[in-house]
Structure 1
């Protein structure tokens, strides 16, 4: 799992336009891909150099440029020079630890958020930063590594899905964001299944491993929360923004993003509360077991107090002690002890202390 905010002392006081990659290298080589489409055609290309990037679309087409990998600063600079991107915009792209946000530039709308993916092989999730910028005809997405998160969107384009093929970059941006949010809900549902099934483990076998597992769940959910909560604010701001790059007919789709983000946020809060409840249940079970042990030890001690008293008296070393000469005195003493024990157990049972 990635850590929380990390920064270096050397970065203090640097210009906001300084291009510094703040993150981990997650791919060997940067991969540039483009897909250009309109109502009648689709063309996909692997781009070898930033100089070959299409600066604008022809034939009223939409161009989607995807960049996998952010560690090559020179390539990022070349992309900025070719597409005439603002230095502040590029600096935001390279800040992988940044909080999800949205900003409207003169020629672009820029937004960033965290993208969550689940690996079914090792049953772990990964988080990476996603940056998207778009204008009328060009959309650029920056990912930290290559993945198939957006492959369903590409398939919709290839399969001539009318809504996507007939629309501009604003609807494409919606489709990408909707895919990211769907992954939020998917990962949270997987967490939910684990958390809900873990309650049976707490009831059947409440040991120290329970605390470790609950703390692990809380740590993972808290990290996801760090990305989801600000993304909710970003989606809300996007639904309210007034820009020439966003058509009015697509307002309903961006409002749908807000609704889905609210659902993800509410689901996250519900699972965090459920973990807190499970932790309370664990402490109650442990406390109840401890009370049972203490009750048993207390009753055991109370029973032996009078017996010890009787044995103490008859164990004293006085020469003239009454009843020492009785032939069956020892057996009488044992009988008295047995009667006292039975009477005390009967009394405890009647009081429902046993």
Structure 2
């Protein structure tokens, strides 16, 4: 299946609010984790049922429900009923191939963005869809599988970092998005190091291996840009959104997201230009080497044209040639050939053809 557009035939004609999982299943079971905190208290637990979160709804605290696994329609329906959300919102969450975007509903904001992570062992880039539902009482984050990408945020909460413990639900949303965009920059930096080291190999040994690497990096970069560019549009829309779910004081942090995603976008554009330049350098280098070979062969051929002409004359089968029976004719002929060859080389050198 295509890497950039993935749509199954069975998805054609589905109603937008159908709670049907559309994507590749990456988790065997759904895991519900809750973190509830304020300035002085913290409660962290794994939930068995969605309704177990109801006891946190009435508290004047920040409640973060994280859902790992999106394939269970029954759980999604229960989440919609528990938090009084439209099924259309959860249907968007279950569509993992959707483009990054932000949508404001009557009682929530839905944020969808792609998470990029560098696998330290295989060095492959993993892409996962992240959805965040921001309400006035709870933040719900949806991941395709269990991972530790948000563990730094959890550690800040556990260590009672003042800003996140006092910031509220909208600041927690910023912290999660900040982690995602930081990973964009990290993945680009890792890929960038590989791209920049190509230049030395390109100049020293421009071979088929180098051109294959350039094409592979171009393909990877185009795949990253598929996630980064729409994410930039989403972040800029979110930062300009005048919503009751985001406090005025928090917008300054969303402006930071604008700067970071713009940097990621600019870096991806820069590396794309570098790869294009490297591709041009490769073709230029190969053409230059071919020109050098052709120049050598041309000079070699031009020198031998008069020598072949002399050899052709004295290689004819006429009985009477003026110098044919002269004792030193052979040596004279060789001498003339050497003088002609050396003379032509000197002439080429003076005209800087060599």
- State TM-score, norm by structure 1: 0.97
- Between the aligned partners of 2:205 and 2:83, the Cα distance in structure 1 is 60
Is this contact kept in 1: 2:32–2:46, CA < 8 A?
yes
- Between the aligned partners of 1:272 and 1:89, the Cα distance in structure 2 is 36
Cα shift readout 1:274-308 (whole Å, capped 9, x = no counterpart) = 11111111111111111110010000000110011
Q: CA deviation at 1:2?
A: 8.4
SS of residue in 1 equivalent to 2:167: coil
Q: Find the counterpart in structure 1 of residue 311 from structure 2.
A: 311
- Between the aligned partners of 2:209 and 2:2, the Cα distance in structure 1 is 23
Is this contact kept in 2: 1:55–1:82, CA < 8 A?
no
Q: Find the counterpart in structure 2 of residue 106 from structure 1.
A: 106
Q: Is residue 149 of structure 2 the alignment partner of residue 138 of structure 1?
A: no
Is this contact kept in 2: 1:2–1:127, CA < 8 A?
no
Where do residues 80-91 of structure 1 align in structure 2 (5 Å cutoff)? 80-91=80-91
User: Kindly tell me: are residues 256 and 82 of structure 1, through their superposed partners in 2, closer, same or farther at Cα, counting changes over 3 Å?
Assistant: same
Q: Find the counterpart in structure 1 of residue 28 from structure 2.
A: 28
Equivalenced residue count is 354
Q: Find the counterpart in structure 2 of residue 204 from structure 1.
A: 204
SS of residue in 1 equivalent to 2:51: helix
Q: Find the counterpart in structure 2 of residue 321 from structure 1.
A: 321
More displaced 10-residue stretch of structure 1: 77-86 or 327-336? 77-86
- Between the aligned partners of 1:313 and 1:301, the Cα distance in structure 2 is 18
Q: CA deviation at 1:12?
A: 2.0
Is this contact kept in 1: 2:25–2:71, CA < 8 A?
yes
- Between the aligned partners of 1:153 and 1:2, the Cα distance in structure 2 is 34
Q: CA deviation at 1:56?
A: 5.0
Q: Find the counterpart in structure 2 of residue 161 from structure 1.
A: 161
More displaced 10-residue stretch of structure 1: 1-10 or 37-46? 1-10
Where do residues 1-354 of structure 1 align in structure 2 (5 Å cutoff)? 3-54=3-54, 57-354=57-354
Q: CA deviation at 1:267?
A: 0.9
- Between the aligned partners of 1:236 and 1:17, the Cα distance in structure 2 is 27
Q: CA deviation at 1:28?
A: 2.1
After the TM superposition, list the runs of 4 or more consecutive aligned residues in structure 1 that deviate by more than 4 angstroms. Answer: none
Cα shift readout 1:32-54 (whole Å, capped 9, x = no counterpart) = 10100011111011111223233
- Between the aligned partners of 1:346 and 1:55, the Cα distance in structure 2 is 96
- State TM-score, norm by structure 2: 0.97
Is this contact kept in 1: 2:113–2:129, CA < 8 A?
yes
User: Kindly tell me: are residues 46 and 103 of structure 1, through their superposed partners in 2, closer, same or farther at Cα, counting changes over 3 Å?
Assistant: same
- Between the aligned partners of 1:72 and 1:331, the Cα distance in structure 2 is 96
Aligned-residue CA RMSD in angstroms? 1.5
- Between the aligned partners of 1:284 and 1:6, the Cα distance in structure 2 is 37
Q: CA deviation at 1:118?
A: 0.8
User: Kindly tell me: are residues 85 and 2 of structure 1, through their superposed partners in 2, closer, same or farther at Cα, counting changes over 3 Å?
Assistant: farther
**Runs of 5+ in structure 1 lacking a partner?**
none
SS of residue in 2 equivalent to 1:54: helix
- Between the aligned partners of 2:262 and 2:335, the Cα distance in structure 1 is 74
Cα shift readout 1:46-70 (whole Å, capped 9, x = no counterpart) = 1112232337534310110001111
SS of residue in 2 equivalent to 1:128: strand
Is this contact kept in 1: 2:36–2:62, CA < 8 A?
yes
Cα shift readout 1:90-123 (whole Å, capped 9, x = no counterpart) = 1111111111000001111001010011111122
Q: CA deviation at 1:166?
A: 1.2
Is this contact kept in 1: 2:36–2:56, CA < 8 A?
no
User: Kindly tell me: are residues 177 and 148 of structure 1, through their superposed partners in 2, closer, same or farther at Cα, counting changes over 3 Å?
Assistant: same
SS of residue in 1 equivalent to 2:54: coil
Is this contact kept in 2: 1:50–1:78, CA < 8 A?
yes
Is this contact kept in 1: 2:11–2:22, CA < 8 A?
no
